[in-house]
A and B are shown apart, each in its own frame.
Chain A
Amino acid sequence: ETGVTQTPRHLVMGMTNKKSLKCEQHLGHNAMYWYKQSAKKPLELMFVYNFKEQTENNSVPSRFSPECPNSSHLFLHLHTLQPEDSALYLCASSQDPGVGSEKLFFGSGTQLSVL
């Protein structure tokens, strides 16, 4: 149990669907992250929120839309996805992203399949 909870664990959606991924952290951290993990590829940072403000958007297509209503909750809204978006989506949190030794606490991820 890492203190970061993601739902749903698995999601299958068509290319015309709209769905949302949810992440909640119970650690009192200030920063939250969305990562994409594809098989045999490095983790790809998608978005970073620090104190509810988005501080990173790594050229992510607009079909992915993040939302951070407070420091404990993070959403990723999905619409008109492509099959190549199928991957494991990981949420993470940390106390202070500006510290070198800062470690991330990850959720178990949502395994997304786009048909």
Chain B
Amino acid sequence: GQNIDQPTEMTATEGAIVQINCTYQTSGFNGLFWYQQHAGEAPTFLSYNVLDGLEEKGRFSSFLSRSKGYSYLLLKELQMKDSASYLCASRDSNYQLIWGAGTKLIIKP
């Protein structure tokens, strides 16, 4: 079956670095997405990886290893506004998005 695993909740300190992991098993692969969702708000697109390696976008970076079925989202210089849920999703060979349950990130001062 198709499956995405990510931690349910993580806690980090303001100013620090946190890495949110995601492992996926999908029928075929057409890319890996990360979305951010603040409580009561719309999920918003953060990143897309289809090739192995690290994509950096300001304080956020996303990594993909296709051979390992693994991705991570790296957040640097954490700010209180980064407290949110982070959703990992893999696109399969039929272009369907398979979603993880999300990781709730709590930032403490």
Contact = CB atoms under 8 A, between A and B. Distances in A.
A2 B48 CA distance: 18
B40 A43 contact: no
Contact of B42 (A43, A45, A107): A107
Interface residues of A, number: 22
B53 to A, nearest CB: 15
B42 A41 contact: no
B101 interface: yes
A90 B45 contact: no
Contacts of A40: 8, 101-102
Contact of B43 (A41, A90, A97, A99): A90
Interface stretch (B57-65, B66-74, B76-84, B89-97): B89-97
A28 B101 CA distance: 29
Interface string B32-52: 010100001111110010100
A104 to B, nearest CB: 7
Contacts of A105: 42, 45
B107 interface: no
B67 to A, nearest CB: 18
A63 interface: no
Given A41-B101, A97-B95, A106-B43, 16 more contacts: A2-B42, A2-B44, A40-B102, A42-B100, A43-B89, A45-B97, A98-B95, A101-B48, A102-B95, A103-B48, A104-B43, A104-B45, A104-B97, A105-B45, A107-B42, A108-B42
B42 A106 contact: yes
Nearest to B6: A42
Contacts of B97: 43, 45, 104
A69 interface: no
B54 interface: no
B45 A100 contact: no
A109 interface: yes
A4 interface: yes
